[in-house]
Amino acid sequence: MFRLSRHQARQLASPLLRAPQRASCRAQSSTAEAIKAKPQPKSIWTSGRVFLLLAGTGLLAYGYGISNAPAWSHHLPGTKFVWSQSTKPHYASKADMEKAIEELRSALGDEAISTDDSDLEIHGRSDWSSINIDELPVAVAYPKSTEEVSQIAKVCHKYKVPMIPCSGRTSLEANYSAPYGGISIDFRDMNKLIALHEDDMDVVVQPALGWMDLNHQIKDSGLFFPVDPAPTAQIGGMVGTSCSGTNAVRYGTMKDWVINLTVVLADGRVIKTRRRPRKTAAGYNLTNLFIGSEGTLGIVTEITLKLAVIPQETSVAVVTFPTIRDAAAAASKVLRAGIPVGAMEIMDEVQMQVINRAGGTSRRWKEVPTMFFKFSGTKAGVHENINLVKAIAKKHKGGSFEFAVTPKEQDELWSARKRSLWSMLQIRTDDGSEVWSTDVAVPISRLPDIIEVSKKEMDDLGLFASILGHIGDGNFHESIMYNSKNPRERAAIEKCVKDMVDRALEMEGTCTGEHGIGLGKKDSLMKELGVETIDVMKSIKKALDPHWLMNPGKIMDFPE
Ligand SMILES: Cc1cc2nc3c(=O)[nH]c(=O)nc-3n(C[C@H](O)[C@H](O)[C@H](O)COP(=O)(O)OP(=O)(O)OC[C@H]3O[C@@H](n4cnc5c(N)ncnc54)[C@H](O)[C@@H]3O)c2cc1C
Ligand SMILES: *[C@@H]1O[C@H](CO)[C@@H](O)[C@H](O)[C@H]1NC(C)=O
Ligand SMILES: *[C@@H]1O[C@H](CO)[C@@H](O)[C@H](O)[C@H]1NC(C)=O
Ligand SMILES: *[C@@H]1O[C@H](CO)[C@@H](O)[C@H](O)[C@H]1NC(C)=O
């Protein structure tokens, strides 16, 4: 019988699974309700596998060279950069930090600057991030306008205080954490839709507007914003990580949907990246520069987004396959046939088991590799596309299609996909157990190869790991359960993840398809692009942020 231990109960009540509270870059409660997970006291623990963590870790860990230093402080041989925390610019002393906080309080009001322990804690770490570090910000600022953000930046610039912007706090790479302390800038009070231009099909928003809330607010216009990462992600953070989501195979990623940005620079200057028209050939593309910069180049305070037309008809279906390879082959055929699927996602047998065990959806799933399809378009188009995909799936040993008939059923089916990471977090058991979620992308034709090898490595180690992927983009994630209190286990996982990234790079892939670099993938980025390319990035960083105040320690380390 399944019982909630006190620890599990606490996990279920963790910010991730609860309606986000005050300091937690909350979503509107409608969204929060939608994602709130319910404990399912009736579910049964079907597998003991999760308890069998790592018999062989010792060996592996030996080979890897265990160190208590976090991965991001490892030295990378053969490069001229020192990957360590000791090389850092000169930041404010404690006394100056206090002066800065005082000055901000008198400029913005007491309630705009918090030094509450719980606030700091919330802004320094996250439950689902693969890296958590112990340094916390010294204060959290809650600006209400671009003007206030500019004031914050001016004070921070004067005293040399690091600034870490944070929006929905769902990023998976410690990207809003504060390894050098400083002030976390939380956009809680900048969550408005400023203007909807239906005829131009664009919308101007503030950074803390959630993408789901945005869609809720504009639903009567017949338009929607198609980029769909974590349900509680917000536009500012989505610009920060250049995210994508399940709709990317049809609609592209964040980069394709941003028209212009208002950005506060490290010294408090405010710029707009461009004007309104859809096309421009006017100068460097600064909009693009800030997208995916993870808050290291400037603070985004206003965003203009393109919108898409809500399709006349949508349909959701799932189909099972005997192996991931069969599924991937089918996916590739679907793409080559030019069938405009709305989304095409894969989950392996372990992930399907996780969803069953977490019990967040009302149906019980077959525990085999499963593909999730979304179809959208005109009625006739959807019908035609479904038949085409059915035929392809059948040729690749696909089982029967299960369709959602009502919108409620569509949500239900799709929710199994959208909840996958949460399901994994929900079934964590022993104290200290954590989930490491990785993200790599390869050319689509290599996807089955990398998934097969990576799964085998995890299986050989007895690790409990599941795969899910945006199969149409060659992008997949592995979620690995591990005990964070066991340094050997942690080192083994780090090695597996590094191996997987190296494999992706060998296949001409990338170390991150959508989650970003943050703290944990800096050395992978160096491997992926090379010293010269990173040098150019550093030059840009230096030009915009000479004192390394903007989200320091992310994407790249300080120059020697
Ligand atoms: C369950 C789950 C599912 C997910 N699915 C996907 C997916 O399918 N696809 C995908 O791409 N990602 C996915 N993610 C990752 C995450 O949702 C995205 O990275 C998202 O873009 C982060 O948005 P956020 O508002 O939470 O940003 P945050 O975590 O708050 O911040 C992200 C980064 O942007 C910076 N930043 C935040 N606000 C600003 C600002 N105003 N100006 C400048 N920089 C800023 C931060 O410093 C940080 O570096 C998922 C995460 C979870 C937990
Ligand atoms: C981004 O932040 C998360 C959560 O703090 C962290 O686990 C993850 O490792 C970070 N990403 C990288 C690449 O450092
Ligand atoms: C950016 O686009 C929005 C919406 O089209 C527009 O209102 C705004 O004026 C634009 N910014 C500039 C600097 O033109
Ligand atoms: C500039 O970059 C933005 C964001 O990536 C992109 O949407 C836009 O198409 C680019 N503009 C041009 C003219 O290339």
Pairing relation of β-strands 113-114 and 308-309?
Answer: unpaired
Q: Would you state the pLDDT for residue 135?
A: 72
Write out pLDDT tens, residues 443-489. 988 998 999 999 898 888 888 899 999 998 899 999 888 887 888 88
In the Cβ-directed half-sphere of 27, how many Cα atoms lie within 13 Å? 30
List all residues whose CB is within 6 A of at least one atom of ligand 3. 197, 202, 204, 259-260, 272, 275-276, 304
What single DSSP character describes residue 530?
-
**CA–CA gap between residue 105 and residue 111 (Å, rounded):** 8
Pocket test for ligand 2, best of 85, 123, 166, 171 (most atoms within 8 A of CB): 171
The residue assigned the tokens 């019908």 is 383
Compute, in angstroms, the gap from residue 339 CA to the centroid of ligand 3.
35
Burial class (CB in 10 A: 0-12, 13-18, 19+), 437: buried
Residue 217 sits at the vertex; the CA angle it makes with 212 and 220, to the nearest 5 degrees, is 115
Q: Would you state the pLDDT for residue 29?
A: 34
Write out pLDDT tens, residues 269-279. 999 998 877 77
Name residues of the chain where pLDDT drops below 70. Answer: 1-88, 125-134, 174-176, 360, 405, 430, 560
Distances (CA, A) of 312 to 110, 195, 217, 376: 49, 25, 19, 7
For the CA of 131, the nearest ligand: 2
* 193-309 CATH, one of 3.40.50.620, 3.30.70.20, 3.30.465.10, 3.40.50.10540: 3.30.465.10
DSSP-derived 3-state class of residue 286: helix
**CA–CA gap between residue 136 and residue 553 (Å, rounded):** 14
Q: Would you state the pLDDT for residue 282?
A: 74
Assigned token pair, 274: 């461009």
Residue 142 sits at the vertex; the CA angle it makes with 139 and 145, to the nearest 5 degrees, is 140
List all residues whose CB is within 6 A of at least one atom of ligand 2. 126, 129-132, 171-175, 177, 517-521
**What residue type is assigned to position 437 of the chain?**
S
The residue assigned the tokens 């921070």 is 156
Assigned token pair, 201: 């099909």
Contact (CB, 8 A) for 17 and 11: yes
Assigned token pair, 403: 């369709």
| Three-state helix/strand/coil letters over 101-154 | HHHHHHHHCHHHEECCHHHHHHHHCCCCCCCCCCCCCCEEECCCCHHHHHHHHH
Contact (CB, 8 A) for 173 and 150: no
Residue 19, φ and ψ in degrees, nearest 5 = -55, 120
Beta bridge partners of residue 303, listed in sequence order: 205, 261
Assigned token pair, 420: 């996958």
Q: Would you state the pLDDT for residue 409?
A: 77
392-396 long-range contacts (CB < 8 A, ≥24 apart) are: 392/330, 392/333, 392/334, 392/337, 393/319, 393/321, 393/330, 395/330, 395/333, 396/321, 396/326, 396/327, 396/329, 396/330, 396/333
Compute, in angstroms, the gap from residue 310 CA to the centroid of ligand 3.
23
Report the CATH number of the 313-515 domain. Answer: 3.40.462.10
Q: Would you state the pLDDT for residue 126?
A: 54
Instruction: Give residues with Cβ within 8 angstroms of 313, minimum separation 6.
Output: 375, 376, 377, 378, 379, 381, 382
Compute, in angstroms, the gap from residue 2 CA to the centroid of ligand 2.
32
- What is the CATH T-level fold of the domain 94-188+538-544, as seen in this structure? 3.30.43
List all residues whose CB is within 6 A of at least one atom of ligand 4. 255-256, 258, 280, 285, 287-288, 291
Give which of 60, 172, 214 is closest to 521, Cα–Cα: 172
Compute, in angstroms, the gap from residue 241 CA to the centroid of ligand 1.
6
**CA–CA gap between residue 11 and residue 425 (Å, rounded):** 8
Given strand 139-141, what is the order of strands in its sheet?
113-114, 139-141, 183-186, 163-166
Atom of ligand 2 nearest to the CA of 133: 5
Domain spans in the chain, listed from the N-terminal domain onward: 94-188+538-544, 193-309, 313-515
Contact (CB, 8 A) for 167 and 236: yes
For the CA of 286, the nearest ligand: 4
Pocket test for ligand 4, best of 261, 286, 287, 291 (most atoms within 8 A of CB): 287
Residue 171 sits at the vertex; the CA angle it makes with 169 and 173, to the nearest 5 degrees, is 125
Compute, in angstroms, the gap from residue 125 CA to the centroid of ligand 2.
9
Atom of ligand 2 nearest to the CA of 521: 13
Compute, in angstroms, the gap from residue 539 CA to the centroid of ligand 2.
24
**CA–CA gap between residue 322 and residue 335 (Å, rounded):** 20
The verdict on the CB of residue 515 being under 6 Å from ligand 1 is: yes
Atom of ligand 1 nearest to the CA of 420: 1
Q: Would you state the pLDDT for residue 560?
A: 60
Compute, in angstroms, the gap from residue 386 CA to the centroid of ligand 2.
38
Q: Would you state the pLDDT for residue 70?
A: 32
Pocket test for ligand 3, best of 304, 305, 306, 307 (most atoms within 8 A of CB): 304
Q: Would you state the pLDDT for residue 232?
A: 93
In the Cβ-directed half-sphere of 94, how many Cα atoms lie within 13 Å? 0
The verdict on the CB of residue 503 being under 6 Å from ligand 1 is: no
The protein residue with its alpha carbon nearest to ligand 2, atom 11, reads: 173
The protein residue with its alpha carbon nearest to ligand 4, atom 7, reads: 256
Q: Would you state the pLDDT for residue 171?
A: 85
The verdict on the CB of residue 297 being under 6 Å from ligand 1 is: no
